[in-house]
Amino acid sequence: MEDCIFCKIIAKQIPANVIYEDEQIIAFRDIHPVAPVHILVIPKKHIASLIDLTKEDEAIVGKIYTVINEIAEKEKLNERGFRVIVNCGEDGGQEVKHLHFHLIGGKKLGTKIVN
Ligand code: 5GP
Ligand code: ZN
């Protein structure tokens, strides 16, 4: 989709530190990491938000979670754990309007999930 920064990353029009890619999914390091490991896992299909997810796309979300699990193992996060976050819409603090899953870990994270 035009003007979508993540679609541009998918199209290799702008660079990213890509750590996983298949036909449907791409994962790359967040440009402003909030923890030692901060990776964004996204569908290649432009889905603007979780709000826009339909039954048609439910399989891709399941696959994203297994990819997250594989990446977490490679990044050595599986022993101590990690967090997956999806910000959604205005109140959810979503800045980039292309569905993305934050995989965050490598340090003890705060216990508060809302602030
Ligand atoms: P949101 O607030 O929408 O859930 O998260 C968007 C995330 O995308 C932020 O953590 C931000 O740092 C990251 N981000 C925004 N633009 C770029 C970019 O051009 N490249 C990469 N790698 N990450 C980006
Ligand atoms: Zn997009």
Ordered by start, the domain boundaries in the chain are 5-105
pLDDT value at residue 54: 97
pLDDT value at residue 112: 73
Positive or negative, the CA dihedral 45, 46, 49, 54 is negative
CATH code reported for the domain at 5-105: 3.30.428.10
pLDDT value at residue 91: 96
93 burial class (0-12, 13-18, 19+ CB within 10 angstroms)?
exposed
pLDDT value at residue 111: 84
pLDDT value at residue 43: 98
pLDDT value at residue 1: 76
**Taking CB atoms and a 6 Å cutoff, what residues make up the pocket around ligand 1?**
5, 16, 28, 30-32, 40, 87, 93-96
Using the mean position of ligand 1's atoms as its centre, give its distance from the Cα of residue 96 in Å: 7
pLDDT value at residue 3: 93
The number of the ligand nearest the C-alpha atom of 48 reads 2
Per-residue pLDDT of the chain (115 residues), as tens digits, is: 789 999 999 999 999 999 999 999 999 999 999 999 999 999 999 999 999 999 999 999 999 999 999 999 999 999 999 999 999 999 999 999 999 999 999 999 998 776 6
What is the set of active-site residues?
100
